[in-house]
Amino acid sequence: MSRALKLAISGKGGVGKSTLAAALAGLMARGGRRVLAVDADPAVSLATALGISAEAQKRIVPIAEQKALIEQRTGAKVKQYGQIFRLNPEVADIAEICGYPHEGILLLVLGAVQQGGSGCACPESVLLRALVQDLVLHKDEALVLDLEAGVEHLGRATARGVDTMLVVVEPGQASIDCARRIFEMARQIGIRDVRAVANKIANVEDEQFVRSALEGLAVAGMIPYCAQVRTADRNGRGVLEHSSEQAKAAFASILAAVERP
Partner from Mg ion, ligand ADP, none contacting 34, C-beta within 5 to 8 A by type: none
Nearer to ligand ADP, 10 or 66 (CB): 10
Nearer to ligand ADP, 107 or 126 (CB): 107
Partner from Mg ion, ligand ADP, none contacting 230, C-beta within 5 to 8 A by type: ligand ADP
Site string for Mg ion, 17-46 (x = CB under 5 A): xx----------------------x---x-
- Find the residue with minimal CB distance to Mg ion: 18
Radius of gyration of the chain (CA): 17
- How far, in Å, CA of 121 to CA of 108, rounded? 20
Q: What is the torsion angle, in degrees rounded to the nearest 10, for the CA atoms of residue 201, residue 206, residue 207 and residue 209?
A: -140
Rounded to the nearest whole angstrom, what is the least distance from the CB of residue 221 to ligand ADP in the complex?
12
Instruction: Give the rounded distance of the alpha carbon of 203 from its chain centre.
Output: 27
Q: Measuring CA to CA, which residue among 113, 106, 116 is closest to residue 127? A: 113
Give the binding-site size for Mg ion (rule: CB under 5 A).
Answer: 4
Nearer to ligand ADP, 91 or 165 (CB): 165
Partner from ligand ADP, Mg ion, none contacting 111, C-beta within 5 to 8 A by type: none
3-state secondary structure of 83: coil
The burial class, CB within 10 Å (0-12 / 13-18 / 19+), for 192 is exposed
Three-state secondary structure readout of 126-177: HHHHHHHHHCCCCCCEEEEEECCCCCHHHHCCCCCCCCEEEEEECCCHHHHH
Rounded to the nearest whole angstrom, what is the least distance from the CB of residue 256 to Mg ion in the complex?
23
Nearer to Mg ion, 19 or 74 (CB): 19
Can you give the binding site for Mg ion, defined by CB under 5 A? 17-18, 41, 45
